[in-house]
Amino acid sequence: MRIVFIGTPEFAVASLEALIEAGENVVGVITAPDKPAGRGKKLQGSAVKQCAEKHGLNLLQPPNLKDADFLDELKALNADLQVVVAFRMMPESVWNMPKLGTFNLHGSLLPKYRGAAPINWAIMNGEKETGVTTFFLKHEIDTGSIIDQEKVPIDPDENVGDLYERLMNVGANLVVKTVRKIKAEDYSLTNQEDLLKDLTAVKDAPKLNKEICKVDWSQSIDKLHNHIRGLSPYPCAYTEVFVDNKKLKLKIYRTKKESELKNAYPSIITEKKRIGVSNSTGTIWITELQLEGKKRMDAVSFLAGLKTEISLDL
């Protein structure tokens, strides 16, 4: 079976590597065009491009997925199946080209958390379980028929970086499993609309922005803890503080909860080796953070270098 793989970031690399290791016939790879990166703004290829070049795979980097020349190149690969992991929206002329169709790997248990940031939102909403789903593409994003799923528990202190790594590897195995099911014609499809009937609430996973990342200290410590770990390490939750009468952004990477210590209004608490924010529901101790203009560090190191008072900008 001739397979074209489509993806861009590191999350997709694990699936591509797994297909190659499993001996599947990957006849081409589609990824994003090179982009400027680093201080020198030199053009740099995506993680998937670097993987494809390492294995000597045929590589396509179309700026426009509707371009006639690109579509001719893709058609010439004569793919039976296309596999998509972490890529932008595609026109029907691309995903409907192979005779066996195109399936996508999504980082949630669909139909829950459709959208661009499923791993982040699952943690931010305090879910105890998530997973990965393979499904055939159709016009509406993340709505196609489900081929297979794998469930993954979420640890109460786990952040996006931790869960990302686990889902990346579980997803890679599911991609190989799905390819083999399709090859053997040994699979059944589940309509997402049938699953929606059993869900009391369908949560979406929209793209993250600066407003979402700003911490609202009036929320309960449970919500604050989930919000912060659901954005760590990227794009990262932040608050604004005053240090030496300067307003600076403070990024927060890891926290711990304490329900006993409370304040009527949100305020920063600093001790010799601890820094946190307390409100009427308890205290969030910040264990890893980064003040604007400084390096990322643990709380002990941060407090050792802090020579003045620090306060919240509420």
Question: How would residue 311 be classed by pLDDT, with cut points 50, 70 and 90?
Answer: very high
Contacts of 109 (CB under 8 A, 6+ apart): 129, 130, 131, 132, 133, 149, 151
Contact assessment for residue 219 and residue 131, using Cβ atoms and an 8 Å cutoff: no
The amino acid at residue 186 is D
Q: What is the pLDDT of residues 43-56, one digit of tens each?
A: 999 999 999 999 99
pTM of the model: 0.94
In Å, what is the CA distance from 296 to each residue of 50, 231, 274, 289, 302? Answer: 28, 15, 16, 6, 9
- What is the pLDDT at residue 191? 95
Residue (of 108, 104, 119) closest to 208 by Cα position: 119
Q: What is the pLDDT of residues 12-26, one digit of tens each?
A: 999 999 999 999 999
**Burial class of residue 76 in the structure, from the number of CB atoms within 10 Å of its CB (0-12 exposed, 13-18 middle, 19+ buried):** exposed
- What is the pLDDT at residue 40? 80
Task: Give helix 10-21 / helix 160-184 axis angle, nearest 10°.
Answer: 40
Contact assessment for residue 250 and residue 240, using Cβ atoms and an 8 Å cutoff: yes
Question: How would residue 144 be classed by pLDDT, with cut points 50, 70 and 90?
Answer: very high
Rg of the chain over CA atoms, in angstroms? 23
Residue 39 has pLDDT above 80, yes or no: no
Q: What is the pLDDT of residues 192-207, one digit of tens each?
A: 999 988 777 778 999 9
- Which domains can be identified in the chain, with CATH numbers? 2-196 (3.40.50.170), 210-312 (3.10.25.10)
- What is the pLDDT at residue 98? 98
Instruction: Look at strands 246-258 and 282-291 and give their pairing.
Output: antiparallel
Question: How would residue 37 be classed by pLDDT, with cut points 50, 70 and 90?
Answer: confident
- What is the pLDDT at residue 183? 97
